[in-house]
Amino acid sequence: MIGAESLVRTLLASGVDTCFANPGTSELYFISALDRVPGMRCVLGLFEGVVTGAADGYARMTGRPAATLLHCGPGLANGLSSLHNARRANSPIVNVVGDTASFHRPLDPALTADTEGFARPVSAWVRTASSAVNLGEDGAVAVQAARTSPGRIATLIVPADISWGEGGHVATPLPVPAAPQAAPGTVKQVAAILRRGEPAVIFLGGKALLAEGLPVASRIAAACGVRLLAQQSNARIQRGQGRVPLECVPYAMALAQRALAGTRHVILAGIHCPVALFAYPNQRGSVCPNDAEVHVLARPEQDAVQALKALAEELHAPAAPAVSLSAPPEPARGPLVREAVGQTLAALIPEEAIVIDEGVSFGAGFYGQTQASAPHDWLQHTGASLGMGLPMAIGAALGAPGRRVIVVQADGSAMYTVQALWTQARERLDVTTLVLANRKYAILAGELANLGGQPGPVSGRLMDLGNPELNWVKIANGMGVEAAQAQDCDELASLLTHSLGRRGPFLIELLI
Ligand SMILES: Cc1ncc(C[n+]2csc(CCOP(=O)(O)OP(=O)(O)O)c2C)c(N)n1
3-state secondary structure 147-179: HCCCCCEEEEEEEHHHHHCECCCCCCCCCCCCC
At 440 the three-state DSSP class reads: strand
283: confidence class by pLDDT, cuts 50, 70, 90: confident
147: confidence class by pLDDT, cuts 50, 70, 90: very high
Q: Look at residue 280 in the predicted model and tell me its pLDDT.
A: 84
Of 81, 357, 360, 362, the residue with max ligand 1 atoms within 8 A of its CB, to mutate for a pocket test, comes to 360
Please give the Cα distance from 361 to 369 (Å, whole number): 15
pLDDT value at 322 more than 90: no
pLDDT value at 320 more than 90: no
Atom of ligand 1 nearest to the CA of 361: 21
Summarize the confidence of residues 342-368 as an average pLDDT.
Answer: 98
Q: Look at residue 282 in the predicted model and tell me its pLDDT.
A: 82
Q: Residue type for 129, please? A: A
Nearest 10 degrees: Cα torsion 487, 491, 497, 501: -90
Any residues with Cβ below 6 Å from ligand 1, and which?
A: 81, 360-362, 384-386, 410-413, 438, 440-444
Q: Look at residue 15 in the predicted model and tell me its pLDDT.
A: 98
Separation of CA 362 and ligand 1 centre (Å): 12
At 246 the three-state DSSP class reads: coil
420-450 residue pLDDT tens: 999 999 999 999 999 999 999 999 999 999 8
371-418 residue pLDDT tens: 999 999 999 999 999 999 999 999 999 999 999 999 999 999 999 999
Atom of ligand 1 nearest to the CA of 416: 1
Out of 43-57, 284-298, 316-330, which region has the weakest mean confidence (pLDDT)?
316-330
Separation of CA 192 and ligand 1 centre (Å): 44
Please give the Cα distance from 441 to 327 (Å, whole number): 35
As a whole number, the mean pLDDT across the chain is 97
Separation of CA 412 and ligand 1 centre (Å): 6
The DSSP bridge pattern shows strands 237-239 and 376-379 to be antiparallel
Of 48, 336, 413, the residue with max ligand 1 atoms within 8 A of its CB, to mutate for a pocket test, comes to 413
Separation of CA 413 and ligand 1 centre (Å): 6
By alpha-carbon position, which residue is closest to atom 14 of ligand 1? 412
In Å, the largest CA–CA distance within the chain is: 69
13: confidence class by pLDDT, cuts 50, 70, 90: very high
Q: Look at residue 106 in the predicted model and tell me its pLDDT.
A: 96
Q: Look at residue 404 in the predicted model and tell me its pLDDT.
A: 98
186: confidence class by pLDDT, cuts 50, 70, 90: very high
Cβ–Cβ < 8 Å for 20, 43: yes
By alpha-carbon position, which residue is closest to atom 10 of ligand 1? 441
At 364 the three-state DSSP class reads: coil
Torsion sign across C-alpha atoms 21, 26, 30, 32:
positive
Q: Look at residue 194 in the predicted model and tell me its pLDDT.
A: 98
pLDDT value at 279 more than 90: no
Out of 117-131, 197-211, 319-333, which region has the weakest mean confidence (pLDDT)?
319-333
Please give the Cα distance from 431 to 389 (Å, whole number): 11
Burial class (CB in 10 A: 0-12, 13-18, 19+), 369: buried
**DSSP-assigned letter for residue 143:** H
At 129 the three-state DSSP class reads: coil
Summarize the confidence of residues 483-493 as an average pLDDT.
Answer: 98
Which domains can be identified in the chain, with CATH numbers? 3-164 (3.40.50.970), 184-314 (3.40.50.1220), 338-511 (3.40.50.970)
- Taking the whole predicted model, whether its pTM rises above 0.95 is answered as yes
Cβ–Cβ < 8 Å for 272, 285: no
Burial class (CB in 10 A: 0-12, 13-18, 19+), 391: buried
